[in-house]
Structure formats: C-alpha cells, structure tokens
Amino acid sequence: MLLKDKVAVVTGAAQGIGRSVAELYAREGARVAVVDVKTDDAEKVAAGIREAGGQAMAVTCDVSDRAAVDEAAAAVKAAYGPIDVLVNNAGVTRPAMLHKMTQEEWDVVMGVHLHGSFYWLQAVVHDMIERQRGWIIFSSSSTAQNGSIGQINYAAAKSGMLGMVRTAARELGRYNILVNAVAPAAATEMTLKIRTDPRFADGVKRLPLRRHAEPEEIAPTFLYLASDAASYVTGQVISVDGGGMMVR
Ligand SMILES: NC(=O)c1ccc[n+]([C@@H]2O[C@H](COP(=O)([O-])OP(=O)(O)OC[C@H]3O[C@@H](n4cnc5c(N)ncnc54)[C@H](O)[C@@H]3O)[C@@H](O)[C@H]2O)c1
C-alpha cells in the first residue's frame, strides 16, 4: 500500500476527480477526509469507502471560508491526527465573456481556487513543517497555460494556483514538503457541456488518445505525487490530458 498510515485531505471530493482520488487514496491505506460543500454527497463517498474496508470521514466545508477551513482541519486532526497529504482540488466554473462577467462570477472562482487553496495551505503547513514531511497537490488546468474563451476568471485562478505551487515548493522544500500540481482533463460534471456539445467534437478527435478520460484515469497521478515514489519531485505540473497540451 503506497499511502499506508498517511492522513489525507481531498477537497471537492464529493464527486468527479476528487472523489476518485479519495477512493484511490483510501484503497492505498490512507485515512481520508472527504471535504466538500455538498454534505450528502460527501457522506455517501465516505460511507462507500468505509464499506469497501477503507477509512474515511466526510467533512462539510466551503473552502472559500477561512473559518470553515480552520474548523474542518481541526476536525480531521482530532479524528485522524496531523495531515500528511493535502489535495487542493475543489473547483467551480462561472463562464462569461470578459465584457459581460459580473463581480460575483469573478469573486466565486477566485474564492474557491485561490482563497480556498491558501486557507488550506495555512491550515496544514505548521504541522507539516514541525513534522518535516508533507505532500501538497493542486488541481490546476491547461487553461492556466493556454487561456480559454469565456473563462478569464478560471484561467486567472488556475494560473494563480501554479504560482502558489512554485512558491510553496521553494519555501517548503527545506522542510521535506513536496508541492506539485496535476493539470487534468476528464469527463466529469464540470466538463459535461464540452463533452456533449457537437461544436467541441473536433477537439476530441485532435487528441492523440481520441477520447475523454474518466476520473479514475486521473487519480493515479495524484497517488504518485502523494507517495514516497515522488520523493524528489517538487514544483512540477503534470498534464494528464490524453496528450492535449502537446497538440494545442
Ligand atoms: N474535469 C476536467 O477536465 C478538469 C480540467 C482541468 C481542471 N480540473 C480541475 O479539477 C478539479 C476537479 O474537477 P472535476 O472535474 O472533478 O469537477 P466537479 O465539478 O465534478 O467537482 C468539483 C467538486 O468541488 C466541490 N466544490 C465546489 N466549490 C466548493 C467549495 N467552495 N468548497 C468545497 N468544495 C467545493 C463541488 O461540490 C464538487 O464536488 C477542479 O479544481 C477543476 O477545476 C478539471
């Protein structure tokens, strides 16, 4: 088991990529906190993990609320002990063209991705520094590198996350804390419209692998980055996108 006895927090784990990461981490021996705003769905994911013989707790938390994050982190620590692995995965989109985007659409996307990641970093980093161990993984996006029409908020947030990854990797490397990102592309609720809209069908055909991925195909890279196998990897972004970055 690659994560035996590690305590892992996965945000946005009630569905999609986060759910798949939480389930895989639990199968690999981690005690997993399934963190999400969707209480019922998070409970279901945690219950499913427990039924399968793993260890998991559901924690309701809006990651854009600092007090909620601090409370959630304290609850995980009380139940499972200090957090070894943090996956900043919670995500939302609020698409709109630049000239039509509302302040609310901008603020929500910044709040979840940037503020939420920052709050969780600060909630776990003191223990990690003290214990001289930690694995931090962000869900970024190819949008950070390429931009995306109608997504200036999301592109800015995902680019900002990469700035956080590289800075935290530099600051925390001396404490044996690794900080990396995955840039995924998977079939989830978030990408449902793109998958089903005929206007985007050509995009799939241009992918070297010529199909969309399931979340289960993304999770193993998160496993690798949380495992001892990645002990000399930090400050990196790994694209798991069927070769999409290469052909843009
Ligand atoms: N699916 C893709 O192709 C793709 C591509 C690039 C990046 N990503 C990123 O990967 C991550 C996971 O995406 P997904 O496709 O699984 O999306 P998803 O919409 O299926 O799941 C996102 C989860 O985040 C949770 N969430 C949203 N706001 C939250 C908040 N304020 N606090 C706590 N939880 C919150 C949602 O409830 C949901 O469970 C996101 O950060 C997304 O931006 C996904």
pLDDT one-digit tens code per residue, 10-68: 999 999 999 999 999 999 999 999 999 999 999 999 999 999 999 999 999 999 999 99
Tell me, what's the pLDDT at 205?
86
Which residues are near ligand 1 (CB < 6 Å)? 11-12, 14-18, 36-38, 61-64, 89-92, 112, 139, 141, 184-186, 188-191
Distance 130 CA to ligand 1 centre (A): 30
Helices (H), 84-207: 103-110, 116-131, 143-146, 152-172, 192-196, 201-206
Provide the pLDDT for residue 194: 73
Q: Does domain 7-247 have CATH number 3.40.50.720?
A: yes
232 is catalytic: no
Look over the chain and give the mean of its residue pLDDT values, rounded to a whole number.
96
Phi, psi (5° rounding) for residue 186?
Answer: -145, 160
Kindly report the protein residue whose alpha carbon is nearest to atom 10 of ligand 1.
139
